[in-house]
Copies of this chain bind each other. A is one copy, B any other.
Amino acid sequence: MRRGRDVAALVRAARDGDPRAVARLISLVEDADPALPEVAAALTDHAGTAQVIGLTGSPGVGKSTTTNELVRALRARGRRVGVLAVDPSSPFTGGAILGDRVRMQDHATDAGVYIRSMSSRGHLGGLAAATPQAVRVLEGAGCDVVLVETVGVGQAEVEVASLADTTLVLLAPGMGDAIQAVKAGILEIADIFVVNKADRDGADATYRDIQGSIALGERQPGDWRPTVLRSVASRAEGVDDILAAIDKHHDWLVEHGELARRREARAAAEIEGIALATLRSRISSLRDGTALPKLASAVAGGELDPYTAARNLLDGLEVQGT
């Protein structure tokens, strides 16, 4: 996109609540548009204003339904809500609406709710890098709460979920999720477990399983002990309990200085990621120059070792910012 005036106008429109401007800004994030640094700069003073809640779990545990009910309850409290539905396993969902997003249309006409599916598309650092920037866009648009929903329970989901202030892990009876959660390292990142579909057979066993895993988990004195709740999201049962647990965890974060610590750690990871992506693209750009082919020819010909060649290459690299 064109620079300068356009970015400023877009950010202003997003702040005024124009959903198309918000959508456009998130697309810029997904595409890793060259205007991104400008977008980020324009959004700076709103950074950190939203409470970021991560929500993850295997397919079929009821993530969309739960998100839907959480949005409804938050709206009833007068909070502005953003939802980022992230699918790390699929690079192709694009800005398109996921199939089960249709249920979200409950909120389609509510100006206090933004719902967006996200993919990694062209973003160099992947979704783990793109998501915090998309959160910033939603903060800029005045969201008080941002729900980041990820599909699945793998490493990518752990990374995305770890961007949240509070992370919810959803389980359902009889899916072996509890064991999966432990395996995937979800246990370490979950602040709240929700056994959804709690009216089904096996809900008690799942509840006990996860309580057992938590009891076995290593914690220092003063660490947060994950809450375990039950819900039947399809009947809106247990949703108030979830919100109450989120509030309680948020208070704990603030009291223990953990909120600031988590957000700083996240910011550090984000800065490192951007710095590394910058360096990677500068190194790639050397392919068109004369230095790399010359060094490669010397290495292939046995005149130079690759380490010395890499050092020579770095000597000629402009690393300093613009």
Residues 260 to 295 of chain A near chain B (Cβ within 8 Å) = 260, 263-268, 270-272, 274-276, 278-280, 283-284, 286-287, 292-293, 295
- Say yes or no: A320 contacts B315, CB within 8 Å: yes
Residue of B nearest to A291 (CB): B271
- Please tell me which one of the listed residues B275, B299, B302 contacts residue A45 in the complex, with CB atoms under 8 A apart: B302
- The minimal Cβ–Cβ distance linking A261 to chain B, given in whole angstroms, is 9
Residue of B nearest to A270 (CB): B306
> Is A174's CB within 8 Å of the partner chain B?
no
- Say yes or no: A41 contacts B308, CB within 8 Å: yes
> Is A319's CB within 8 Å of the partner chain B?
yes
Within 8 Å CB of A315, what residues of B?
320-321
Most buried by B among A263, A267, A292: A267
Contact indicator per residue, chain A 45-61, by CB within 8 Å of chain B (1) or not (0): 11111000000000000
A272 to B285, CA, bound (A): 11
Q: With contacts A37-B307, A40-B307 known, is A271 near B300, CB below 8 A?
A: no
Which residues from chain A sit less than 8 Å from chain B, CB to CB? 36-37, 40-41, 43-49, 132-133, 260, 263-268, 270-272, 274-276, 278-280, 283-284, 286-287, 292-293, 295-297, 299-315, 317, 319-322
- Say yes or no: B283 contacts A268, CB within 8 Å: no
Q: With contacts A279-B314, A307-B274 known, is A260 near B300, CB below 8 A?
A: yes
- The minimal Cβ–Cβ distance linking A4 to chain B, given in whole angstroms, is 16
Besides A40-B306, A275-B314, A311-B321, 4 other A-B contacts (C-beta < 8 A) = A47-B300, A268-B296, A278-B310, A317-B319
A272 to B276, CA, bound (A): 14
- Say yes or no: A300 contacts B44, CB within 8 Å: no
Q: With contacts A276-B279, A276-B283, A300-B263 known, is A292 near B268, CB below 8 A?
A: yes
A97 to B260, CA, bound (A): 49
Residue of B nearest to A303 (CB): B44
- Say yes or no: A311 contacts B305, CB within 8 Å: no
Q: With contacts A279-B279, A311-B322, A314-B319 known, is A292 near B305, CB below 8 A?
A: no
